[in-house]
A and B are shown apart, each in its own frame.
Chain A
Amino acid sequence: AQSVAQPEDQVNVAEGNPLTVKCTYSVSGNPYLFWYVQYPNRGLQFLLKYITGDNLVKGSYGFEAEFNKSQTSFHLKKPSALVSDSALYFCAVREPSSSGGSYIPTFGRGTSLIVHP
């Protein structure tokens, strides 16, 4: 069974500082990994995904994430945080259908990122 964990309910960072939002996963086989962002009163928006290839994935709004197979992690990072990055961030994992997975991703509980001016 696939699962994902976001160990931090909230991350606080000062504007201009680097940010990291953590995500770990568990699947059988190679994972498909996603990050989504949710701004207040909005639906989730896709940020980036890892399917295969380069472990460092670059996405929207200057975000990037690094796939680490040995640590089963897919942490979201940004070199310099903006106040406008304050939002709820969701990590999701899906096991490829070729490994017996369905098309249903499992979402984490979300991490609230607060960037202080």
Chain B
Amino acid sequence: DAGVIQSPRHEVTEMGQEVTLRCKPISGHNSLFWYRQTMMRGLELLIYFNNNVPIDDSGMPEDRFSAKMPNASFSTLKIQPSEPRDSAVYFCASSLSTAHKGETQYFGPGTRLLVL
């Protein structure tokens, strides 16, 4: 398995532009997580999907952020309009969640976003 795939790996954009980050989870996994990592805030959970349904989006900063998971093999995180404070590394992670086991999360390589 290729692991969790994220694209693009790097994105430089100007303030006000729309940014779309993409994630392909590991096949067979039923949970998907979007995280943001910055020096100031560390690793923050943005949103969690289970079986393609958003379960917890309390970490989404504001209405400029939206995430979708149209099927089990694809998810997007969109920022519109982008702002310089959105500059961070965005990680996607997937896992196979079961009721009685401590599932391991598998992280993608991340997308490094710079908003000018």
The answer to whether B109 touches A43 (Cβ under 8 A) is yes
Interface size of B as a range: 20 to 34
Chain B residue at minimal CB-CB distance from A49: B102
Q: Which A positions have Cβ atoms within 8 angstroms of B?
A: 32-34, 36, 42-46, 49-51, 90, 94, 96-98, 102-105, 107, 109-110
* Nearest CB of B to A9, in Å: 10
The answer to whether B105 touches A105 (Cβ under 8 A) is yes
Does B43 touch A at the CB level, under 8 Å? yes
Chain B residue at minimal CB-CB distance from A47: B104
Does B97 touch A at the CB level, under 8 Å? yes
Q: How far is the CA of A97 from the CA of B55 in the complex (A)?
A: 14
* Nearest CB of A to B89, in Å: 9
The answer to whether A98 touches B99 (Cβ under 8 A) is yes
Contact for B100 among A46, A90, A96, A102, CB less than 8 A: A96
Q: How far is the CA of A50 from the CA of B104 in the complex (A)?
A: 11
- The contact string, 1 if C-beta is below 8 Å from chain A, for chain B 92-116, is 0101010111111111111000000
